[in-house]
């Protein structure tokens, strides 16, 4: 596995050095002269000693040739060329996945799922590019060491750094987890501004160096408006490629419906979370099914559905923090995996999934130019389409309108970060995140 690491240079803060890990100790003891100066960052780059010329290029296999077990050295198989553009019979071209907040608890659960093949499949080589801060650089080194020591056959490269213009280079997936939590006494407007600045800068970096078809999943809260800020600062990337994570809310809703109905969770389908990832979100029991029947035909307690069920989903994160003393890092990581899988595997016939996406052109009458969680389907190509065949009643529409109003208010509050003028904050009273009490 190639491991690239950005660490503070012992000499000038403006120079970077490239060397190989097998040469690192010799280099440190013999010289401090940089071999190569690169752009933008203050950090040295360390690469693994296995280079592409040590790995044979793949040889096309005839259909009648027997499949032979590849000869491997460590995790490197001779049938795979790190530089190859074409797919072979057993391996795909390596994909670049960038993760921000990579030293945090959510990433700690997520990175090992990505590296193991659980997310993109057992034949998909992956390069992980991990973004942190100056304060977290040592923790990032530890994360890279653990990934290296795990000997994941699919993990071909790990790099760490604090400059998004470096870490997002050629990214095909960007998982933006890092964000500041809301501190004691902090107003929601302050949280929007502080985190909005982070996502504005990351949007600019993605626009400058990422793949033109990069898929972006924003996890850091407030994730809907952070996703809007990010896409507004990345005009060369399709707005449709940006997602705000509401899959954890969907999973929580499925859990509650399954428990109430006395069935396993896989019997719950067509579950939609509408709106904002906040306590105004709308878990949609009108369109959800249990064993192929509408929820209201299986669970006839309308009062429970409208009140207890809805509130449980909206406030589940806060209750978990009260019980456990920490936020839902593991289940959030699982929901990121689910969100990616929903985009890279075809949606089962008749089903759909929830994700926060750009509202322009939506068929539901929701205000345009915000990021709003809605029901989607995918063909498994990383893209999606909005579901059109959904039911609406007065209860659902009124709840959706409340979440829409909240997101429009958040949008006005970050106008200075989206290039739309002077910010005016008139946030409604209920603007809490699911993890806030």
Half-sphere CA count of 51, side-chain side, radius 13 A:
8
User: Could you confirm whether 277 is annotated as catalytic?
Assistant: yes
CB 297 within 8 A of CB 285: no
Write the CA distances from 153 to 22, 94, 112, 150, 424, integer angstroms.
20, 12, 12, 9, 51
CB 222 within 8 A of CB 195: yes
Phi, psi values for residue 293, rounded to 5°? -105, 150
Tabulate helix, strand, coil % of the chain (nearest 5). 40, 20, 45
Q: Which of 32, 243, 277, 416 is catalytic?
A: 277
State which H helix or E strand residue 3 sits in.
strand 2-8
Closest CA relative to residue 296, chosen from 304, 433, 127: 304
Helices 329-344, 105-116: axis angle to 10 degrees equals: 40
CB 353 within 8 A of CB 247: yes
* CA-atom Rg of the chain in angstroms: 23
Catalytic annotation, residues: 277
């Amino acid at each position: 596995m190639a491991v690239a690491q950005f660490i503070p240079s012992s000499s000038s803060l403006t120079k970077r050095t490239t060397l190989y890990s097998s040469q690192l100790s010799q280099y440190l003891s013999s010289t401090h002269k940089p071999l190569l100066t690169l752009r933008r960052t203050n950090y040295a780059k360390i690469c693994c000693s296995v280079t592409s010329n040590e790995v044979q290029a793949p040889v096309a296999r005839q259909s009648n040739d027997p499949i032979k077990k590849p000869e491997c050295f460590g995790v490197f198989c001779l049938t795979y060329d790190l530089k190859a553009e074409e797919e072979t019979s057993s391996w795909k071209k390596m994909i670049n996945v960038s993760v921000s907040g990579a030293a945090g608890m959510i990433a700690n659960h997520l990175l090992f799922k990505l590296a193991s093949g659980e997310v993109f499949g057992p034949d998909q080589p992956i390069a992980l590019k991990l973004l942190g801060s100056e304060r977290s650089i040592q923790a990032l080194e530890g994360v890279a060491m653990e990934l290296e020591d795990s000997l994941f056959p699919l993990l071909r490269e790990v790099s760490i750094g604090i400059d998004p213009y470096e870490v997002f280079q050629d990214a095909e997936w960007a998982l933006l987890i890092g964000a500041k939590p809301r501190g004691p006494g902090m107003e929601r407007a302050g949280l929007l501004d502080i985190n909005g600045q982070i996502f504005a800068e990351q949007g600019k970096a993605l626009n400058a160096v990422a793949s033109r078809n990069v898929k972006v999943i924003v996890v850091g809260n407030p994730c809907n408006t952070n996703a809007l800020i990010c896409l507004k600062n990345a005009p060369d990337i399709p707005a449709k490629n940006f997602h705000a994570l509401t899959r954890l809310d969907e999973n929580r809703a499925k859990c509650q419906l399954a428990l109430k109905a006395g069935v396993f969770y896989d019997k719950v389908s067509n579950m939609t979370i509408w709106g904002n990832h906040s306590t105004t979100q709308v878990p949609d029991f009108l369109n959800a099914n249990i064993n192929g029947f509408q929820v209201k035909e299986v669970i006839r307690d309308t009062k429970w559905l409208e009140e207890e069920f809805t509130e449980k989903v909206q406030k589940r994160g806060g209750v978990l923090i009260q019980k456990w003393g920490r936020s839902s890092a593991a289940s959030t990581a699982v929901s990121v995996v689910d969100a990616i899988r929903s985009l890279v595997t075809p949606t089962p016939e008749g089903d759909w999934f929830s994700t926060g996406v750009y509202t322009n052109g939506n068929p539901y009458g929701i205000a345009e130019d915000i990021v709003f969680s809605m029901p989607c389907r995918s063909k498994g190509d990383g893209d999606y389409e909005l579901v059109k065949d959904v039911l609406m009643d007065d209860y659902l529409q009124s709840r959706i309108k409340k979440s829409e109003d909240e997101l429009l208010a958040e949008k006005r509050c970050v106008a200075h970060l989206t290039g739309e003028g002077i910010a005016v904050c008139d946030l409604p009273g209920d603007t809490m995140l699911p993890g806030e009490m």
